[in-house]
Amino acid sequence: MSSTDDKPPPLSIQDINNIITNLRNLLTSDCAEAEIAVATNTAANNLTGNEQDGSNRTGNEQDGTNKQDGDANQAQETNDKKKEPLYELGKLCKELDYMIRSFQELENLKNSLREPFETLEANVNDIVSDLEKDELRKQVQHNLRVFRNNITRVKILILLQLQAASINSDGNRALQTTFATGEAGDLPHLYGEHIFENSYYFKEFEEKYEGLDDRQKLCLLCFSIFPENAEIKKRFLRFWWVGENLIARNGKDEMGDLNDTLTTFVEKRLIEPVLKKNRLQPRSYKVTPIVRSCLIHFAKKEGFFDYDQDGKPIMDFSSCNKACMVKSERATASWFADYLKGNDKDGNERATACWFADYLKGNDKDGNSEKPKEQEQHQEQGKLLQGKLSADLVKLQMLFNFPHENTLIRASQQIGKLQTLFNLSKQFPDLPTEWFSKMTGIKVLYLGRWEATAGQARHIEVEDIEFLKGFKNMKNLRLLSLQGISGIPKLPTTLCKLENLRILDLRACHDLEKLPDRIGSLKKLTYLDLSECYLLDYIPQQLNKLSELQVLKGFVILEAKNSCTLDDLSELPSLRKLSVNVNTTKFNIDEAGDALAKFQKLEKLRIAWGWGGMPRKEDSTLDSSSEQQQSKTKKKQASSISSAAAKASTDKVNKGEDKGNRERSAVAAAGEANSKTAKLGGGLRGTAKIALMAKKWRRLSMKEREPQNLEGLERLVKLDLQCFPRSEPPTWLVPRKMKKLTNLSIRGGRLGYLNHEDGQKWNADTLRLKFLVNFKMNWKEMQQRFPNLKYLENLRCPRITFCPCDANGVWQKFVQSK
């Protein structure tokens, strides 16, 4: 038999784990027995010492005491020698425990990677089999790309598994820290680790990063300041990149440039799209922890933001022109704490710091004379710090918590160069009025909430809006976001002096009641978001002076005098997207068609009826009672006519009269019955008859005054109606006037049907119908009226029947074809 056959098979991970476990158990049992023996000997020695101590005290007390001390010391030395092996055995047991956990983690890693490696093996087999066939050579290139992508995924999976395993080890407990709004237990940061920066994955990422142009690099680095696995909304990225002038440059399309940039990042696997249920396109994106660690490295290198040693963005903007406002996770700076106590660092009564005394004398820290300009600058600093800090400096320090005094002074001098200020996790973003007005170079001011509001929204509040008057000096500001900030009932008139402002985000400012009257001065404004401003009760007419406005969200239709209307908005030449909230019952959706027909570029429209726009209870009760009374009257008339006609016909037949006489008698009897019914039910039907006649008159009048120019309606691509208050649809909602409509959404309300003139069909390929109790249509009718339908949502519409939707109420044509 050969030597190869005599060689034992290699041990598996489980075998090694079992061997180590047995060794540990053996050591543990021996250690326990030894501890018992040592404890017994120690107790016996103590007892002997006590007896000797008692006997010695009856005789020569001093000699007995010395003898007892010597015996006790000897016993202690003996016990210590016996405990040393026990201590070593305990250390060995801990080492074996660590080895057991390590091999268990390896076993888990092997199990988690079994399926990915099987996929790689299948990819290799496909490639080899295709190479042997000449007709499938083109398929080889595709399989190679798939194989390369799968290898990259497995590499990332290995790193993620190793990270997840290391974070739970005892040696890495200190790595479990929070970052901004992140939760405890995030994966450890690899930023600054020499081993990681020399790894193959980092080199591969660096190659992808260097393949981007300068604009794309800056766009990608924006992801570096957010917590791990944070979902970044596409809308927010659009805001930021427009504010930084990174997209829509040189007359390019803003949305097209945004989509192209995000698509490039996704294809290179630099970011990941977040796909939600019933969403055809992603609205959020995120980066993996490993990618984020790489981005922090390059952001620090480029001076994009400043970070601490753990890769967290800090509020110090003295070394760069961008800063993040983060909630303080560390204690107040020691120098500032001493200042607040009125003492110096040594606890003595506070005096001018030595470095500051040198500044006053005109010397630097080394005692050398300074230039006159620098001397004048430091003397100015001395005026600020001598004795007491000014109130604004104290508030600036409390807001940013600078670690050193000189950092505070340097930041106060460079605040005019600050270009981006972003509120990452600060709850009270009040800025000192004096310093806020000095931000003359600011381009992006994002004080509001950026997080997705699916969970608990972060509360942001300002105590006073006086600092907002500093807007007058921000001539370069392009993006202003106050989203989700409470405590802002109105905006100062200085807002209207932001001549370069492109985006104004006031979403969810729940205390906002009115806009400035001169808002029309913002000539370059392209995006205005007023959504969820529930207390807003006045919108000035000057809104129609915003000639470059493309998107307007949250426009409110009110009964206030001199408030802006849909007719006023139709004068906006560039408006492409509009969302309207109706808060008055005087709004007529049929008459709104006249205003909508005047819009020049409107493509997307959403109209939602709020509580103030719904019909009153007595009105709806009157309409329903009128309809019920009308139906009952018709049934009585029909039954009376049929019975009278039948009776007359029977009588005349029995008498043998001809056909003509039978018909005349039937009509006469029917007329008699009809007149009787009218006399009996006339008083009951009075109110219903008046309401029915008024409704018919309104419909006829609307048809007579239909807009001749339908270009504004014909340009609509997407229409969304929410909480529609009537059972009949708007008169202008017909296929003939909606030739380009591809997306129709109706959510909530009383709508019962859709109009179809002369069998005309809709061109829409996306249809969303939700929470419509009265809407009636079956699947066959829907296919006939929407022949191009590709996507359908049918959620809680009990009278829409026979639709082949899944459990989520979704039907997609391409899924069915596959």
Q: Which pLDDT does position 110 carry in this prediction?
A: 75
Please state whether the predicted TM-score (pTM) of the whole model is above 0.85: no
> Mean pLDDT, to the nearest integer, of 713-729?
94
Token representation of residue 798:
């009990």
When mean pLDDT is compared over 300-314, 774-788, 800-814, the highest value belongs to 774-788
Q: Where are the domains of the chain?
A: 12-26+86-186, 189-313, 392-529, 710-812
pLDDT of 359 higher than 50: no
Instruction: Return the closest-CA partner of residue 569 out of 584, 583, 554.
Output: 554
Q: Using pLDDT thresholds of 50, 70 and 90, give the confidence band for residue 302.
A: confident
282-301: per-residue pLDDT in tens?
A: 899 999 888 998 999 899 88
Token representation of residue 96:
């074996």
Q: Which residues pair with 768 in a beta bridge?
A: 745, 793
Q: Which pLDDT does position 207 carry in this prediction?
A: 93
pLDDT of 240 higher than 80: yes
Phi, psi of 212 (to 5 degrees): -85, 155
Distance CA 296, CA 793 (A): 42
Domain 392-529 - what CATH class? alpha beta
Q: Using pLDDT thresholds of 50, 70 and 90, give the confidence band for residue 748.
A: very high
Q: Which pLDDT does position 626 carry in this prediction?
A: 45
CB contact set of 274 (below 8 Å; sequence gap of 6+): 231, 282, 283, 284, 285, 286
> Mean pLDDT, to the nearest integer, of 212-233?
91
pLDDT of 434 higher than 50: yes
Share of the chain above pLDDT 70, in %: 64
Mean pLDDT for the chain overall: 75
- Residue 416 and residue 443 in contact, taking contact as beta carbons nearer than 8 Å: no
Q: Which residues pair with 203 in a beta bridge?
A: none
Q: Using pLDDT thresholds of 50, 70 and 90, give the confidence band for residue 697.
A: low
> Mean pLDDT, to the nearest integer, of 612-620?
66
More confident of the two residues 650 and 794: 794
CATH code matching the domain that covers 189-313, chosen among 3.40.190.10, 3.30.1370.160, 1.10.10.10, 3.30.360.10: 1.10.10.10
pLDDT of 343 higher than 80: no
When mean pLDDT is compared across 305-314, 472-481, 486-495, 698-707, the lowest value belongs to 698-707
| β-strands 743-749, 604-609 pairing | unpaired
> Mean pLDDT, to the nearest integer, of 749-766?
89
- Residue 414 and residue 392 in contact, taking contact as beta carbons nearer than 8 Å: no
Q: Which pLDDT does position 383 carry in this prediction?
A: 44
Distance CA 778, CA 748 (A): 18
Phi, psi of 801 (to 5 degrees): -115, 160
Share of the chain above pLDDT 90, in %: 35
> Mean pLDDT, to the nearest integer, of 219-238?
91
641-665: per-residue pLDDT in tens?
A: 445 444 444 443 344 444 444 444 4
pLDDT of 556 higher than 60: yes
When mean pLDDT is compared over 17-26, 311-320, 424-433, 619-628, the highest value belongs to 424-433
> Mean pLDDT, to the nearest integer, of 560-567?
87
pLDDT of 768 higher than 50: yes
pLDDT of 677 higher than 60: no
> Mean pLDDT, to the nearest integer, of 557-561?
84
Distance CA 725, CA 712 (A): 24
pLDDT of 481 higher than 70: yes
92-140: per-residue pLDDT in tens?
A: 666 677 777 777 777 777 777 778 888 888 888 887 877 777 666 667 7
Give me the residue label for tokens 């042997």.
132
Long-range contacts of residues 751-759, Cβ cutoff 8 Å, at least 24 apart? 751/721, 751/724, 751/726, 751/727, 751/775, 752/727, 752/728, 752/776, 753/728, 753/729, 753/777, 754/729, 754/785, 755/729, 755/731, 756/785
Q: Which residues pair with 232 in a beta bridge?
A: 285
Instruction: Return the closest-CA partner of residue 739 out of 580, 603, 625.
Output: 603
pLDDT of 223 higher than 80: yes
Distance CA 65, CA 143 (A): 90
Instruction: Return the closest-CA partner of residue 35 out of 70, 95, 79.
Output: 79
Reduced to 3 states (helix: H, G, I; strand: E, B; else coil), residue 324 is strand
Instruction: Encode 113-122: b = buried (16+ Cβ within 10 Å), e = exposed.
Output: eeeeeeeeee
Instruction: Return the closest-CA partner of residue 794 out of 780, 813, 775.
Output: 775
pLDDT of 209 higher than 60: yes
